[in-house]
Structure 1
Amino acid sequence: MTHLGRLYDLLDDVRLPDGAIPYSQVSSWELRFLYLLGRHHLTGGDRLVELGSGGGGSTYALALGLRESPVFDERTGRLHAYDFFRVGKGTFASEKFFTSGSRPEGEDSFLDDFRSRLEPFLPFLEIHAGDLWQTSDPLDTGPVEFLHVDIAKTARVFRCVTERFLTRLRPGSVVLHQDFAGPRLPWLHHSTGALLPYVEIAGPPIRSTLAFEVVRPIPEEVLRRIAEDAYTVDEKLALISAVQDRVDLDHTGGIPFKPVLEFAKAYVAHYAGDHRRAWSIAKPLTSDAYLSRTRADHFAQVRRAYEQERERGGGGSRLGRLVKKAVGR
């Protein structure tokens, strides 16, 4: 068992304060794990970074653990919170991040609400509000002890995560990928496959979060290929298969990661424009109970793209095929 894996035994005993934790889109299990990381593992000697703080639930749980840690020094340690801190197109934020639970008329920023909720921890909390490409410093190469990634909803943002944060990981650094159960974000999955020789996975995913610790220096070439999306489709599928060999059910038994990761392969092909291949991967997964219940919109998206591609090729209907045959094309 990894050092991080020992935290799993403590999950059932964590009691976070009722009513204090802000609304969060992560599960109570993930909040408990964040608290345990702050309380029992992290030191604050290097940068502690949360990418995608949202309404502050995950930030609060982690900061509470740090405050109760015997080794974290609030005078010198810093927790860096990055987010748009507003709702609107491209932010993937919920109106529930406002204290009122809905967006006030004429207002799109919940930054003041975030600050108010995290007030006990402001002395060691640094807030970076805005587009990650603008709020992160390309010249900052300081080592990152902890990286919580809940912001990589697009390939564009993930490139920023890779270039400006993954490059700063060192042996001992801890990474949490919060969206690991999201098939539409396959860059999380094939990049993890590329990192497998240099990391140890802590244990089963904590609901949607995969946790791992860097145990060997990551070669610059590996990080460059991840950032530049320099892997072929077949290489990406093989990298995801390598993760499938390591990850099965989440720790509660509720999320079956092998089919989730298989569906991520379909999205690799989908984003590459090979919609026929994408549907050929996705179609057998429609019989999976978990995916059919939770990802119906994903199946519809991949199938629709495949059918549109087929129509454009002239083979989308029986009549179309007959016409092609009649004119000899």
Structure 2
Amino acid sequence: MTKLGRLYPLLDDVRLPETIPYSQVSTWELQFLYLLGRHHLTGEDRLVELGSGGGGSTYALALGLRESPVFDERTGRLHAYDFFRVGKGTFATEKFFTDGAKPRGENSFLDDFRGRLEPFLPFLEIHAGDLWQTSDPEDTSAIEFLHVDIAKTARVFRCVAERFLTRLRPGSVVLHQDFAGPRLPWLHHSTGALLPYIEIAGPPIRSTLAFEVVRPIPGHVLKAVAEDSYSVDEKLALISAVQERIDRDHTGGIPFKAVLEFAKAYTAHYAGEHRRAWSIAKPLTSDEYLSRTRADHFEQLRRAYEQDREQHGGSRLTRLVRKAVGR
């Protein structure tokens, strides 16, 4: 059993307070965050949450830290990064406001977040705004814990890779909360690139993959991840390597091998290889989980494939017919 794996048997015994703030992550993920704070993390190096949202995940982790016998609130710090506002590009919901809806003329829920996290403010540092602006490119301090729930776009993931992944050391713990999202394939192929240097905790906790760094990550690997310098074929191979390590989530509900296969389709799609993307995605339409939860994803890839085919003269048979009739 891995060091982090020893926390899995404790999940069912965690009872979080009913007052915990609204969160878009599952109860299991909140329980795992609590257990990490309570039984694993020390706070000797940076504790970083990228994408704190309404505060549910921050609260669960902070509560665990407060109850930890080794975390020192006087010196340890939990860093919370987010836009802390709703609007285009933020991927936030109005449920993050205390009243569950955005007040007239107000986009920021930062005050709501502060109010919910008030018990932990003495050791909580809040960084509000665009991650490229609120993170320090000169900061090389080691990170003990990194919770990534912010990399919804390739642009943001590059910031995560350049300014946070480079600060991981042996013993660092990383949680990728969006690992069940096929539209975020950078999470999957970057994990594949890191496989020789990490130890996966166990089955994903719902949509979260947890791993620990067990050996130093070479600078050239981190540079390749940050600069997105892998070819499409290399990315697909890296995702395949991850598929060999994980199957379903710990509840048995999410088939990660199929999810990762779908992520391969999006890898090709983002590279403009729409025919290839649909050839990967089409067989997955028979997967019960994906067909039920990702119908819009299939439609996006199918539509891109059909538009690409039209722009390039349709199918081979269509082109031959057009040539034969002189059109």
Structure 2 equivalent of residue 140 of structure 1: 139
Which residue identity lines up with residue 125 of structure 2 in the other structure?
E
Which residue identity lines up with residue 189 of structure 2 in the other structure?
H
Q: Tell me by how many angstroms 1:219 deviates.
A: 0.1
CA distance in 2, matches of 1:307, 1:228: 30
Structure 2 equivalent of residue 234 of structure 1: 233
Identity across aligned pairs (percent)?
84
Which residue identity lines up with residue 205 of structure 1 in the other structure?
P
Q: Tell me by how many angstroms 1:313 deviates.
A: 1.1
Which residue identity lines up with residue 58 of structure 1 in the other structure?
S
Q: Contact 1:314–1:324 (CA<8 Å) still a contact in 2? A: no
Structure 2 equivalent of residue 49 of structure 1: 48
Q: Tell me by how many angstroms 1:319 deviates.
A: 6.6
Structure 1 equivalent of residue 189 of structure 2: 190
CA distance in 2, matches of 1:305, 1:246: 31
Q: Residues 242-253 of structure 1 correspond to what in structure 2 (within 5 A)?
A: 242-253=241-252
Is 1:315 matched with 2:314? yes
Is 1:199 matched with 2:193? no
Which residue identity lines up with residue 282 of structure 2 in the other structure?
K
Name the SS of the counterpart of 2:10 in structure 1. helix
CA distance in 1, matches of 2:78, 2:215: 24
Which residue identity lines up with residue 204 of structure 1 in the other structure?
P
CA distance in 1, matches of 2:324, 2:89: 46
Any idea what the Cα deviations from partners look like across 1:248-301, whole Å, max 9, x if unmatched?
000000000000000000000000000000000000000000000000000000
Q: Contact 1:311–1:317 (CA<8 Å) still a contact in 2? A: no
- Larger displacement relative to structure 2 (309-318 or 319-328): 319-328
Q: Tell me by how many angstroms 1:95 deviates.
A: 0.5
Name the SS of the counterpart of 2:236 in structure 1. helix
Any idea what the Cα deviations from partners look like across 1:204-223, whole Å, max 9, x if unmatched?
00000000000000000000
Q: Tell me by how many angstroms 1:10 deviates.
A: 0.2
Any idea what the Cα deviations from partners look like across 1:54-86, whole Å, max 9, x if unmatched?
000000000000000000000000000000000
Structure 2 equivalent of residue 4 of structure 1: 4
Structure 2 equivalent of residue 298 of structure 1: 297
CA distance in 1, matches of 2:323, 2:44: 68
Q: Residues 142-161 of structure 1 correspond to what in structure 2 (within 5 A)?
A: 142-161=141-160
Q: Which runs of 5+ in 1 are unaligned?
A: none
Aligned residue pairs total 327
Structure 2 equivalent of residue 281 of structure 1: 280
Name the SS of the counterpart of 1:175 in structure 2. strand
- Larger displacement relative to structure 2 (46-55 or 312-321): 312-321
Which residue identity lines up with residue 292 of structure 1 in the other structure?
S
Structure 2 equivalent of residue 270 of structure 1: 269
Which residue identity lines up with residue 266 of structure 1 in the other structure?
A
Structure 2 equivalent of residue 23 of structure 1: 22
TM superposition score normalised by structure 1:
0.98
Name the SS of the counterpart of 2:175 in structure 1. strand
Q: Contact 1:195–1:218 (CA<8 Å) still a contact in 2? A: yes
CA distance in 2, matches of 1:68, 1:308: 56
Q: Tell me by how many angstroms 1:112 deviates.
A: 0.3
CA distance in 2, matches of 1:110, 1:262: 37
Is 1:14 matched with 2:14? yes
Q: Tell me by how many angstroms 1:27 deviates.
A: 0.0
Q: Tell me by how many angstroms 1:314 deviates.
A: 1.5
Q: Tell me by how many angstroms 1:9 deviates.
A: 0.7
Q: Tell me by how many angstroms 1:315 deviates.
A: 1.2
Which residue identity lines up with residue 113 of structure 1 in the other structure?
D
Which residue identity lines up with residue 78 of structure 1 in the other structure?
R
CA distance in 2, matches of 1:70, 1:317: 68
Q: Tell me by how many angstroms 1:327 deviates.
A: 2.5
CA distance in 1, matches of 2:128, 2:224: 28
The two structures, once aligned, show a CA RMSD in angstroms of 1.1
Following TM superposition, the consecutive aligned residue runs of length 4 or more in structure 1 with deviations greater than 4 angstroms are 316-321
CA distance in 1, matches of 2:318, 2:187: 42
Structure 2 equivalent of residue 181 of structure 1: 180
CA distance in 2, matches of 1:43, 1:197: 25
Name the SS of the counterpart of 1:290 in structure 2. helix
Structure 1 equivalent of residue 255 of structure 2: 256
Q: Contact 1:315–1:321 (CA<8 Å) still a contact in 2? A: no
Which residue identity lines up with residue 157 of structure 1 in the other structure?
V
CA distance in 2, matches of 1:281, 1:318: 22
Q: Contact 1:189–1:243 (CA<8 Å) still a contact in 2? A: yes
Structure 1 equivalent of residue 214 of structure 2: 215
Name the SS of the counterpart of 1:70 in structure 2. coil
Structure 1 equivalent of residue 100 of structure 2: 101
CA distance in 1, matches of 2:95, 2:317: 49
Any idea what the Cα deviations from partners look like across 1:108-138, whole Å, max 9, x if unmatched?
0000000000000000000000000000000
Which residue identity lines up with residue 230 of structure 1 in the other structure?
S
Which residue identity lines up with residue 74 of structure 1 in the other structure?
E
